[in-house]
Amino acid sequence: MQERYEQILDIGPSNADASGHLSYPGIFMVLQDLAATHAEVLGWGFRALAARNLFWLSVKTQVRIFKRPELCTRILLRTWPEKPEALRCNRSYQICDMDGNVLIAGKTEWALINTATQRLVPIATIYDENSMDFGETACPEPFLRIPDKFEPTDEYARYIVRSTDIDVGGHMNNGAYPAALFASFSNAQIAAMDIKGIDLVFRTSCFEGDELVLQKIEAADGSGLDLRMASERGTALLAHIQLG
């Protein structure tokens, strides 16, 4: 069925980190590319939507990590749309080993925006609910609510948005945010983190040349980190890293 899409991928050096595993930003890049490919199959790809002044807008993303695949191993990717709401819809993902064991599960909340009016349009504009077979969510827990309560003293890094961060929509690509976020940590710091999950909430678009202020709050019990990336226009990204 077209609603269920699978793809096989070899983990190469370009999406692996210093530990020899699929990198944390690489997880989001892989899932984003998978969603884009499946959207093309379903007729909801970039070109088809652009012809109608429509564009997919990623609102939230959640991943739960059980085991990261290693460099030069082959993985099975799965994705499917969940039953939509009026103006929002979720897409589920699984990254599996070749025996079908789930290594990473994820979901993204999407909205559909009219690029001429900058207004959200009903998902039914492209979804035909009566003829589609929607799947259950890969991540049953709700999207995390991340409080936007950061102080100037929480700043720990800054990042300049580069030309390589910009996508065909003219703004910072969703996959570039976690790349910038994890680039603010050293390899030693990342290696010391036992990361079980990552939640991202996208707020305000960023553009080439923007300076982003990165802020961080650590949970007192060591269970996680709340993070914020903000430009002069306000909060661009809220993130939570769940630690084991």
DSSP line for the chain: -TTSEEEEEE--GGGB-TTSBB-HHHHHHHHHHHHHHHHHHHT-SHHHHHTTTEEEEEEEEEEEES-PPBTT-EEEEEEEEPPP-SS-EEEEEEEE-TT--EEEEEEEEEEEEETTTTEE--GGGT--GGG--PPPPS--SPPPP------GGGEEEEEEPPGGGB-TTSSB-TTHHHHHHHHTS-HHHHHH--EEEEEEEE-S---TTPEEEEEEEE-TTSSEEEEEEEETTEEEEEEEEEE-
Cβ distance 144 to 62 under 8 Å? yes
* pLDDT tens per residue across span 6-38: 999 999 999 999 999 999 999 999 999 999 999
The full set of domain ranges for the chain reads: 5-131, 152-243
> What pLDDT score does 186 carry?
97
pTM: 0.94
Q: Apex CA 70: angle with CA 66 and CA 76, to 5°?
A: 70
Q: CATH class for domain 5-131? A: alpha beta
- What are the structure tokens assigned to 111, written together? 């909205």
> What pLDDT score does 1 carry?
57
Domain 5-131 and domain 152-243, same fold? Reply is yes
* pLDDT tens per residue across span 108-154: 999 999 999 999 999 988 887 777 888 899 999 999 999 999 999 99
Q: What is the CATH number of domain 152-243?
A: 3.10.129.10
* pLDDT tens per residue across span 75-120: 999 999 999 999 999 999 999 999 999 999 999 999 999 999 999 9
Please say if the pLDDT value at position 218 is more than 60. Answer: yes
